[in-house]
A and B are shown apart, each in its own frame.
Chain A
């Protein structure tokens, strides 16, 4: 009897082992499933949120859709695996998601310690300060003695302490838990200053009854490079994520937009003569099949989702309620940091 049980257990374990062995190639798994599972946040204004009908949208979600467009040819074939800051990496490492597009700061400990692979930076963020214009302050260096609303247990708390100590200033911390709580406190004058990542400041400011009475100070006191991550051990999948991001940036640089990609790809009239555009859109060469994708993978990204600028302007740009300027996220040719290796 006992022997029988042991044998059964061993057989079950073996069977499970076989299924896990078959999981080696993320690309094959995703294509077999027909749906890309992205680890996303449970809601960050501008970056990820469900709309009134439950359809996910936002800056990070659009990059997830771009990945789905490249891999499956359908930007709609995504599943949002919602995760909090505490569960995001285990969800990815346990295989509950295929790729993480979740407003995640790239740090040494996450890259090395958590055993993730990061694939470039889709948003350069940094910690800033917001104050009421009526205070007449123009620089963070004039904040001596201010009361500051700050989220507990975050790197922003440590950055703030460092910055004030470094400049010989003092402050009174008003600790809060969420962005909304911060807004309530700031609105009711319980603190003079609110500090968090600049993108968060913009959304908080836009939610105030009178956004124009408030300003974000020019000083950015920390580096928060946000980017996509995958598990260790699948280089082909890593390459795909890297080049999906690069394709959106290169497309902006080459002037290929969602609006004109059909013309550039020769679907209407003459195709583009620019060699790099032709390689990227799959008119020349075989870059798509080298990645393990169809040759029009980049065309699908730009046609269905758009280039970097399209994605930025649609979700967080100056014409959205968030109204974030490109700033550091402008192309390197426009004084920003977004820079893609060439498609060659």
Chain B
């Protein structure tokens, strides 16, 4: 018939035609992104070739040739075509509970589990927008570290668990979350102190921040683990985990202070003047006007510091604490499972990647939500 081709339209009423095939769909996407110039073509081919030669080998090792249950290394390697042909995940699987809880008493493990659930509730409650009763969620989040400490350590009705029973992922998360939860408020106070007009306060804050930033974390950990015991009277040692938590928190709060100070300096002075002209006190002005803006600017820096802190927590293995890396390395010395380091380190890398990537995504999400089009 060919009726469509001859159909008449009044000027300006013709429906849009689909764009030419060459500018849409996967082919066009590839043309634009992968093969737009000779250099691009060469890079694309080289990348595909590299992936082609690496990925199948990795997949074979990690998934297809992997062994999930075995009694020891010999058994594990015996199940493969040749030793080291695939990953021996049986090793990780067998020690998984140890890696998760360390030496936390088995009948009390509901406590860390409950802690984790409460932690998720706290995180989600604070993060979700238009959550009913926002204020109570915030109070709950502030109280959470103390509830968690009570649950984990015990006392007041719960059987006490000594902190040297903490290990593995539990210990890593305790150090990371405590450092993060306490270093933010301390860091904000330090930043405000550093910009204060009171000379004594300012000096104290500057000296503290510069001292901590000038010293490596590992030095502080050594001070916590060995030097402090010399300063204290013999026999009056206080909990090693407590000492480490204090040092990690102080270390991270000095960095947070500098990040927040950057945020404070990023605000135009008009904001301070406006707050003063409204007759707000120092604290009210900061609470209502200055900090909400300054912290918003500092989010990427703050989260960056948190991620750094979380990963730095593995340094505690150097003072003999059994966090996930320390405990994993200890398990590598089991005579039945010698030589399975690649499996272990891959597992630990995956754990840290999940934690840190979640933090990074969350910070991006937060930035987008708080975006108020004040771009400069």
Contacts and interface: CB of A to CB of B under 8 A. Distances in A.
Interface of A: 13, 16-17, 19-20, 22-23, 42-46, 48-54, 79, 81-84, 86-88, 90-91, 94-96, 180, 183-184, 203, 206-210, 315, 320-322
Given A20-B233, A49-B330, A90-B226, A322 B321 contact: no
Contacts, number: 125
Nearest to A49: B333
9 contacts: A16-B233, A20-B233, A43-B331, A49-B334, A86-B222, A90-B225, A91-B320, A183-B339, A321-B336
Given A50-B327, A207-B338, A95 B234 contact: yes
A86 B236 contact: no
B125 interface: no
Interface string B293-324: 00000000000000000000000011111100
Contacts of A81: 164, 320
A42 B322 contact: yes
Nearest to B318: A84
A50 B329 CA distance: 10
B229 interface: yes
Contact of A45 (B226, B235, B333, B341): B333
A66 to B, nearest CB: 20
Contacts of A43: 329-333
Contacts of A91: 225-226, 320
A81 B339 CA distance: 25
B103 interface: yes
Interface residues of B, number: 46
Contact of A23 (B235, B320, B332): B235
A208 B339 contact: yes
A88 B320 CA distance: 9
Contact of B235 (A44, A53, A95, A208): A95
Nearest to B342: A184
> Which of B230, B234, B333, B341 counts the most A-chain CB atoms under 10 A from its CB?
B333
Interface in B234-278: 234-237, 240
Contact of A94 (B95, B98, B230, B336): B230
5 A-B pairs with least C-beta separation? A207-B339, A43-B330, A209-B83, A207-B338, A94-B229
A210 B77 CA distance: 11
B56 interface: no
Contacts of A48: 333
Contacts of B334: 45, 49, 51-52
A95 B320 contact: no
Interface string B79-106: 0001110000000001101100011000
